[in-house]
A and B are shown apart, each in its own frame.
Chain A
Amino acid sequence: MFEYAPAVALLPFVSFLIALSVGSYMPKKGAFAGIAATGGSLLLSVWAFVTVSGGEVYNEPDLFTWVAAEELSLSFGILIDPLSAMMLIIVSLVAFLVHVFSLGYMNDEGETGLPRYYAELGLFTFSMLAFVYASNLLMAFMFFELVGLCSYLLIGFWFRTESAASAAKKAFLVTRFGDYFFLIGVIGVIATFGTAQFAGQESFPVLAEHALVDGETEAMTTFLGLGEQAWVTLLGMLVLGGVIGKSAQYPLHTWLPDAMEGPTTVSALIHAATMVAAGVYLVARMYGFYALSPTVLTFIAFVGGFTALFAATMGVIKDDIKRVLAYSTISQYGYMMLGLGAGGFVAGSFHLMNHAFFKALLFLGSGSVIVLMHHEQDMWEMGGLKDKAPATYYTFLAGSLALAGIIPFSGFWSKDEILFEALHYGLGNQPLLLGAYAMGLVAVFFTGFYTFRMVFLTFHGDPRSDTARDPHPVGWSVKVPLVVLGLLATFIGFVNMVPVADLLNMDIEFLHQWLDGPEETVTSVHHYEELVHDAAGFEAADIGPYLPGALSLGLALAGAGLAHMLYNVPDPEPHTEKLGNIRTLLKRNYYQDEYQVWIAEGLTLPVARAANKFDRTVVDGAVNGISRVSLDSGSRLKQVQTGVVTNYAALLTFGLVALLVVVGLYGGWF
Chain B
Amino acid sequence: MAPPVEYYLLLSAAVFCIGLFGILTRRNALMFLMSVELMLNAANINFIAFSFQHGNLTGQVFSLFTMALAAAEVAVGIGIILVLYRNFQDVDVTKAATMRW
Contact = CB atoms under 8 A, between A and B. Distances in A.
Chain A complexes with chain B: yes
Interface in A170-202: none
| Most A CB within 10 A of own CB, among B25, B94, B99 | B94
A649 B20 CA distance: 8
B93 A646 contact: yes
Interface in A282-314: none
Nearest to A638: B101
A633 to B, nearest CB: 15
A643 interface: yes
A641 interface: yes
B9 to A, nearest CB: 15
Contacts of A653: 20, 24
A642 B97 contact: yes
B96 A646 contact: no
Contact of A643 (B23, B24, B25, B99): B99
A642 B20 CA distance: 19
Contacts of B32: 645
Contacts of A642: 97, 100
A638 B99 CA distance: 12
A54 B18 CA distance: 122
B100 to A, nearest CB: 3
Contact of B94 (A638, A646, A649, A650): A646
B97 A643 contact: yes
Contacts of A643: 96-100
Contacts of B20: 649, 653
A645 B93 CA distance: 7
Contact of A649 (B23, B96, B97): B23
Interface in A653-670: 653
Interface in B3-44: 20, 23-27, 32
Interface string B64-83: 00000000000000000000
A646 B92 CA distance: 11
A653 to B, nearest CB: 6
A68 interface: no
A656 to B, nearest CB: 10
A644 interface: yes
Nearest to A656: B20
Nearest to B32: A645
Contacts of A645: 23, 32, 93
Interface string A612-647: 000000000000000000000000001101111110
Contacts of B94: 644, 646
B95 to A, nearest CB: 9
Contacts of B99: 643
B71 to A, nearest CB: 21
Nearest to B24: A650
A639 B100 CA distance: 9
24 contacts: A638-B101, A639-B101, A641-B100, A641-B101, A642-B97, A643-B96, A643-B99, A643-B100, A644-B94, A644-B97, A645-B23, A645-B32, A645-B93, A646-B23, A646-B24, A646-B25, A646-B26, A646-B93, A646-B94, A649-B20, A649-B23, A649-B24, A653-B20, A653-B24
Given A639-B101, A642-B97, A645-B93, 10 more contacts: A641-B100, A641-B101, A643-B97, A643-B98, A643-B100, A644-B93, A644-B94, A645-B23, A645-B32, A653-B24
Interface of A: 638-639, 641-646, 649-650, 653
